[in-house]
Amino acid sequence: MRGLWLHVRRSPAGPTVVLDVDGVLVDSRLRELVAVEASRGERSRFWAVFLSASLTHLDAPGPGLAFYAWARARGYNVAVVSGRPRRLAWDTLLQLNSLGVDPDVFVAREEGVYAKAQRLKLEALRVLEAMGARVALLVDDSPEVVEAARRLGYPAVTPLIALHWAARGGGGERRVPGPSVLEHATA
């Protein structure tokens, strides 16, 4: 459990759907764009801006909310595993609560831990299993995390966000998988 911080509201014992925050439960692309512009290529500055609690108001509801609703409607436990640092845990929980998300367990990265997301999230899955969770599905926007989880036998998918920008004038269309993706993943 080294490198992880947990907030447990309810036991995750039993079938559990595990959801990521950025790119899944929240659409953080605008915050990411602000961080890219503010950092001017400096990696540490990018992360300082991107992980600023004062910018989470730029986030929009993400495609993972459909997965959350599906899981709750079917009685699954829900664990949220984020790469955000512990100092943002309460802000993140408030943000998720404002979207109607009330996870049984919230896992964040401890301060000063810079392990790759896949290592951190796979460790979180092991910790959840030690708490009695049976991971029914992991939803993460990182293909690397999803592939690493699958290699270890966990059912895992990305939220399949697809943006199609119009040639003139911007705008776009978002396609988000519905519960049929979950039905297939958990069958």
- Summarize pLDDT for 158-183 with one digit per residue, the tens: 886 322 222 233 333 333 334 444 44
Q: Quick one: pLDDT at residue 103?
A: 97
Q: Quick one: pLDDT at residue 2?
A: 73
Nearest to 140, CA basis, from 132, 149, 151, 131: 149
For the domain covering 4-25+62-186, report its CATH number. Answer: 3.40.50.1000
Domain boundaries, given as residue ranges, for the chain? 4-25+62-186
Q: Quick one: pLDDT at residue 95?
A: 94
Q: Quick one: pLDDT at residue 17?
A: 95
| pTM for this prediction | 0.82
Q: Quick one: pLDDT at residue 174?
A: 35
Q: Quick one: pLDDT at residue 43?
A: 84
The tokens describing 117, both together, are 């997301």
Q: Quick one: pLDDT at residue 170?
A: 31
- Summarize pLDDT for 111-125 with one digit per residue, the tens: 777 778 889 999 999
Contact between 80 and 109 (Cβ < 8 Å): no
Q: Quick one: pLDDT at residue 160?
A: 67
> What stretches in the chain show pLDDT beneath 50?
1, 161-187
Contact between 11 and 104 (Cβ < 8 Å): yes
